[in-house]
């Protein structure tokens, strides 16, 4: 899935980074943990698959909280201040009302927002919620303050190693790739000195008093064998929030993406939309094509909104005409880009080249990324690692480029397509090194191919 553009909402002098994925309605605001970085999150395939699924039934609004990730690195401040950041993000994203979704300690902020602004919230969904982190005489099952201080000091000393995130993802604690990503997320979320400050601030939050004031439909979920977050946190919320619904699902992880997400997202979709679609996942070999317009923001600013929207609609019509010509299947539009699949890699490459050439005549530049692999087709959507790889391949394309993986090159040998080597690269969130190529159509007859056309060799396994 293509990483969406990061934008900024303003709350006074503070800038809050946010992204929007999918078309909706409805709108779904995801309130993150304090340890977040919008662009690093997309490097983890599990996160990508979760957002892909959410965006299949909602317009998903993501953001980094103040003090974290791509938002201004200032002191987080009390939750009362932070919920005003949510209002600013919704306003910037054009969301009048939204369902609100949060997990673990982010649930406290979501609950306070729902209680304070029922005019902006039409549903509240909480996963492994923690309304108060630190124990008290009337809250004995929470974290012991002294033991937690020792733990915070340990987190500070080992910040950036991925230990913190792995605490809430025990099923992945032995996964080296996940641990590496978790460490990178920590380093890009907050500095080692800021992490203890944020954790201690979290320990001061207590939203128990506002729970009876929540007047919107509320769903509380947790996994049955979670040993990190005591189930009494969730049950307390269900007891205090009027008419809250409680659902337990199999698994051990308090972090949604660490366990089996399907049952969680099925339940969430039914809660938000009123229906649960019947998904039959079909895994087949397919070629994935991503396209987008280069420097679209600059062009939109220079043309003005009216002319840009006209040009964008003309571009979409052009792309759809070429998809029909080459038997491509449009999966979805992604802002100014497209995600499409083909049952033949040569057709996908030729279609991408035709789109790039035709778009250039309109004064725009398009880039494209193509990869072939196993895809999971679910209803009208497509997912799987092949989709993630194609999105990352697109990231290495410049204006007018059609960049393909070595897998595609090997599969289209003899198809009168030519390829220029573009080096070996790491693709974010994908293991190994990947050989990439720029595609072009051979001159007639195929005898005067560009001198840079490589001699095809057996592909490196998995590439």
Is the distance from CB of 264 to CB of 125 less than 8 angstroms? no
Last residue of a domain, one of 273, 302, 320: 273
- Per-residue pLDDT band at 459 (split at 50, 70, 90): very low
Q: Does the pLDDT of residue 7 top 70, yes or no?
A: yes
* 448 domain-assigned: no
The model's confidence at residue 457, banded by pLDDT at 50, 70 and 90, is very low
253 and 323 assigned to the same domain: no
pLDDT of residue 444: 47
Assign 442 a pLDDT band (cuts: 50, 70, 90): low
**Residue 301 is assigned to a structural domain of this protein:** yes
Whether 27 maps to a domain, the answer reads yes
CA 62 to each of CA 27, 301, 337: distance values in angstroms, whole numbers, following the listed order: 11, 24, 19
Residue 127 pairs in a beta bridge with 103, 221
Domain that holds residue 204: 7-273
158 belongs to a structural domain: yes
Regarding whether 362 and 341 lie in a shared domain, the answer is: yes
Domain-located, residue 435: yes
Proportion of the chain above pLDDT 90, given as a percent: 59
Q: 274, exposed or middle or buried, with CB in 10 Å at 0-12, 13-18, 19+?
A: exposed
Q: Please report, for the domain that includes residue 356, its CATH number.
A: 3.30.70.1230
Last residue of a domain, one of 220, 248, 273: 273
Q: Residue 456: its pLDDT value, please?
A: 35
> Is the domain of 329 the same as that of 385?
yes
290-346: per-residue pLDDT in tens? 999 998 888 888 888 788 888 888 999 999 999 999 989 998 877 788 999 999 899
The answer to whether residues 252 and 288 belong to one domain is no
Q: Is residue 79 situated within a structural domain?
A: yes
- Residues 298 and 394 placed together within one structural domain of the fold: yes
Is residue 371's pLDDT more than 80? yes
**Which residues does 67 contact at the CB level (< 8 Å), separation at least 6?**
34, 73, 74, 75, 76, 190, 194, 198
CB 67 within 8 A of CB 199: no
Question: Taking all residues of the chain, what is their mean pLDDT, rounded to a whole number?
Answer: 88
pLDDT tier at 449 (50, 70, 90 boundaries)? very low
Rounded Cα distance between 171 and 180, Å, is 15
Considering the domain architecture, whether residues 163 and 300 belong to the same structural domain is answered as no
* pLDDT score of 285 more than 70: yes
Give this prediction's pTM.
0.65
Quick one: pLDDT at residue 309? 84
CA distances from 261 to 54, 86, 175, 256, 366 (A): 11, 25, 17, 6, 34
Whether 254 maps to a domain, the answer reads yes
Instruction: Indicate whether 257 and 334 sit together in one domain.
Output: no
Q: For 313, phi and psi rounded to 5 degrees? A: -65, -35
**Residues 299, 267 share a domain:** no
Q: Hey, how many other C-beta atoms are within 10 angstroms of the C-beta on 330?
A: 16
Within this chain, do residues 256 and 343 fall inside the same structural domain, yes or no? no
Within-domain flag for 460: no
In this prediction, residue 280 carries a pLDDT of 57
**Domain-terminating residue out of 273, 296, 316:** 273
* Number of folded domains that form the chain: 2
- Shared domain for 110 and 239, answered yes or no, is yes
Termini Cα distance of the chain? 19
Instruction: Find the range with the poorest average confidence among 48-62, 86-100, 376-390.
Output: 376-390
* Residue 10 bridge partners (DSSP): 15
3-state SS record for the chain: CCCCCCEEEEECCEEEEEEEECCCCCEEEEECCCCCCHHHHCCCHHHHHHHHHHHCCCEEEEECCCCCCCCCCCCCCCHHHHHHHHHHHHHHHCCCCEEEEEECCHHHHHHHHHHHCCCCEEEEEEECCCCECECECCECCCECHHHHHHHHHHHHHCCCCCHHHHHCCHHHCCCHHHHHHHHHHHHHHCCCCHHHHHHHHHHHCECHHHHHHCCCCEEEEEECCCCCCCHHHHHHHHHHCCCCEEEEECCCCCCHHHCCCHHHHHHHHHHHHCCCCCCCEEEEEEEEEEEEECCHHHHHHHHCHHHHHHHHHHHHHHHHHHHHHCCCEEEEEECCEEEEEECCHHHHHHHHHHHHHHHHCCCCCEEEEEEEEEEEEECCEEECHHHHHHHHHHCCCCCCCEEEEHHHHHHCCCCCEEEEEEEEEECCCCCCEEEEEEEEECCCCCCCCCCCCCCCCCCCCCC
Residue 111 has pLDDT above 90, yes or no: yes
- Output the pLDDT for position 277: 63
Most trustworthy range by pLDDT among 76-80, 283-287, 351-355 = 351-355
Q: What percent of the chain has pLDDT over 70?
A: 93
Question: Which letter, b or e, does each residue of 380-410 get, where b requires 16 or more Cβ atoms within 10 Å of its Cβ?
Answer: ebbbbbbbbbbbbbbbbbeebbbbbbbbbbb
Question: Domain of 161: which CATH number?
Answer: 3.40.50.1820
Same domain? For 288 and 268 the reply is: no
- Domain co-membership, 216 together with 288: no
What tens digit of pLDDT does each residue of 261-284 get?
Answer: 888 999 999 999 987 665 556 788
Answer yes or no: are the C-beta atoms of 389 and 405 closer than 8 Å.
yes
């Amino acid at each position: 899935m293509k990483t969406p553009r990061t934008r900024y909402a303003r709350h006074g002098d503070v800038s809050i980074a946010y992204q929007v994925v999918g078309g909706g309605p409805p709108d779904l605001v995801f309130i993150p943990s304090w340890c977040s970085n919008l662009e690093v999150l997309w490097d983890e395939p599990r996160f990508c698959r979760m957002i892909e699924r959410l965006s299949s039934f909602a317009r998903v609004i993501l953001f980094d909280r103040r003090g974290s990730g791509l938002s201004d690195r200032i002191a987080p401040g009390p939750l009362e201040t932070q919920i005003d950041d949510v209002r600013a993000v919704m306003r910037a994203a054009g969301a009048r009302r939204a369902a609100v979704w949060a997990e673990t300690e982010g649930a406290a902020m979501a609950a306070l927002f729902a209680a304070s602004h029922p005019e902006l919230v039409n549903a509240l969904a909480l996963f492994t919620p923690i309304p108060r982190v630190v124990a008290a005489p009337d809250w004995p099952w929470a974290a012991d303050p002294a033991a937690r201080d020792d733990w915070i000091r340990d987190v500070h000393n080992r910040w950036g190693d991925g230990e913190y995130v792995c605490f809430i993802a025990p099923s992945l604690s032995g996964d080296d790739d996940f641990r590496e990503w978790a460490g990178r997320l920590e380093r890009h979320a907050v500095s080692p000195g800021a992490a203890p400050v944020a954790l201690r601030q979290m320990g001061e939050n207590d939203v128990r008093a506002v729970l009876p004031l929540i007047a919107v439909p509320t769903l509380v979920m947790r996994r049955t064998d979670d040993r990190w977050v005591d189930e009494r946190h969730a049950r307390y919320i269900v007891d205090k929030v009027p008419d809250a619904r409680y659902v337990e699902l199999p698994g051990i992880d308090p972090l949604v993406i660490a366990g089996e997400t399907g049952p969680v997202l099925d339940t969430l979709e039914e809660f938000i939309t009123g229906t649960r679609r019947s998904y039959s996942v079909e895994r087949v070999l397919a070629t994935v094509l991503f396209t987008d317009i280069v420097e679209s923001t600059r062009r939109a600013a220079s043309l003005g909104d009216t002319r840009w929207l006209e040009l964008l609609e003309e571009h979409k019509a052009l792309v759809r005409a070429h998809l029909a010509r080459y038997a491509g299947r449009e999966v979805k539009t992604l802002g100014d880009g497209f995600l499409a699949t083909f049952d033949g890699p040569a057709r996908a490459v030729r279609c991408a080249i035709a789109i790039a050439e035709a778009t250039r005549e309109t004064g725009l530049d398009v880039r494209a990324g193509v990869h072939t692999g196993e895809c999971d087709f679910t209803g009208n959507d497509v997912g799987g690692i092949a989709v993630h790889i194609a999105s990352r391949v697109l990231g290495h394309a410049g204006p007018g480029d059609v960049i393909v993986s070595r897998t595609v090159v090997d599969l289209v040998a003899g198809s009168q397509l030519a390829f220029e080597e573009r080096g070996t690269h790491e693709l974010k969130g994908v293991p190994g090194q990947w050989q990439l190529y720029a595609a072009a159509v051979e001159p007639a007859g195929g005898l005067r191919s560009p001198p840079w056309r490589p001699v095809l060799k057996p592909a490196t396994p998995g590439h």
